[in-house]
Structure 1
Amino acid sequence: MNKQTSFSVCGESLSSPMHICGFFDSKEQQYEVIIPYILEGLEANEKVINILEGSRHGEHCRCLAENGVSITEKLSSGQLEVLASENTYINGGEFVAEKMYKTLEQTLISASRAGYESVRACGDMVWALKNLPGTDELLEYENSLNLLTPKHSVSLICMYDINSFSQNTLTDILFTHPYVIKDGKISKNPHYIEPSSLITKFSDFSSSPLKS
């Protein structure tokens, strides 16, 4: 049984559990949104997980440090985890939706057992542009998260670069997120489709696979 906890993003006060897609047109815009979100979580003693390309870890940690985060302390305590896409989403050089679902599920369970009342996570989805095996399971994975999140006190932000993903892909992604961040503002997503209803549409998606 999850416990609802409040959190802020884009200046709006919301409650977890929540699955959000963030559409950003630059790293600067992305950080304007996620830095306050991360800082608030750390100050509230929540578990905070960031997943992004390994090559960006140095830059990411510097940005957090410049905003007052004691990186070494937070990483050592385990409250903050900065993970690489290569070791999570595409571990082994491929994406397997069920495997990543179970990885995230276990992470949430472990955080709860460690005493964290809530988890905040944000993942950069640029790995999906690498055309690695299993990338076509992205929609299935995003849809499955809407079955996972209600079981936990967690807020997830899946970050998409609108300059890198095709418009068709971004349109499809909207189906799988109850809330959307666009132009630095968050709102309820009118295009969201409930998981059980979206499953029936996967056959249609398969005839028009995600493309970068």
Structure 2
Amino acid sequence: MNKQAPFSVCGESLSAPMHICGFFDSREQQYEVIIPYILEGLEANDKVINILEGNRHGEHCRCLTDNGVSITEKLLSGQLEVLASENTYINGGKFVADEMYDLLEKSLLSSSRAGYDSVRACGDMVWALKNLPGTDELLEYEARLNLLTPKHSCSLICMYDISSFNESTLKDILLTHPYVIKDGKISKNPLYVEPSALLSSLSDLRSGSVKS
């Protein structure tokens, strides 16, 4: 049975489970939001998972260190994981929604068994700009996460660079997240569509394209 877990982001007190899209226009703005979120999680005995491009790991760990995190200690204990997009979202050079969903679900289950009170995950979605095979499954994957999160004590922030993604993609992404971070503030997303309805619509569209 899932339990509610308090957390804060952008200065707002919230309760997990929660699936959030973070829209950022710079690396600095992104870190202004996620660093306090990560630090609070490490202090609260939460499992913290960060997924970003492999070439950003050095910079990311230095930023955490500069903010007082004992990186080596937290990595060795397993409380903090810094994973590469290349080994998760686009493992093998392609995106497979089912595989990424299963990977995340297994991580949530193992974190609970390990005794962590909750899981906080931040995923940088820049990998989706590479247009690798399977990227068209992104919207379905994001929608399905709303079926997964209620089963676990977790908060997930999917981070999108609004200067890199086109407006159409960002509008689609808004359909899949109950909460949105914009301009350093978090709010309930009025454009959110319940996953059952959105997945049904996506299935209909896919069936129509196959028939045509």
**What TM-score bracket applies, with the shorter chain setting the length?**
over 0.9
Displacement after TM superposition at 1:117 (Å):
1.4
Q: Secondary structure at the match of 1:201?
A: helix
**Residue of structure 1 in register with 2:71 after alignment:** 71
Distance 2:89 2:31 in 1: 21
**Residue of structure 2 in register with 1:99 after alignment:** 99
Distance 1:207 1:6 in 2: 43
**Residue of structure 1 in register with 2:141 after alignment:** 141
Task: Check whether the contact 1:16–1:154 (CA below 8 A) recurs between aligned residues.
Answer: yes
Q: Deviations over 1:124-143 (max 9, x none)?
A: 00000111000000000000
Amino acid at match of 2:127: W
Q: For this pair of structures, how many residues does the alignment match?
A: 208
Distance 1:156 1:31 in 2: 15
For the aligned residue pairs, the C-alpha RMSD in angstroms reads 1.3
Q: Secondary structure at the match of 1:149?
A: helix
TM-score by length of 1: 0.96
Displacement after TM superposition at 1:206 (Å):
9.0
**Residue of structure 1 in register with 2:121 after alignment:** 121
TM-score by length of 2: 0.96
Distance 1:86 1:206 in 2: 30
Distance 2:207 2:97 in 1: 15
The percentage of aligned residue pairs carrying the same residue is 81
Distance 2:34 2:196 in 1: 30
**Residue of structure 1 in register with 2:155 after alignment:** 155
What runs of 5+ residues in structure 1 fail to find an aligned partner?
none
Q: CA separation of 1:132/1:117 partners in 2, compared to 1, >3 Å: closer, same or farther? A: same
What runs of 5+ residues in structure 2 fail to find an aligned partner?
none
Amino acid at match of 1:76: L
Q: Deviations over 1:31-52 (max 9, x none)?
A: 0000000000000011000000
**Residue of structure 1 in register with 2:186 after alignment:** 186
1:45 pairs with 2:45: yes
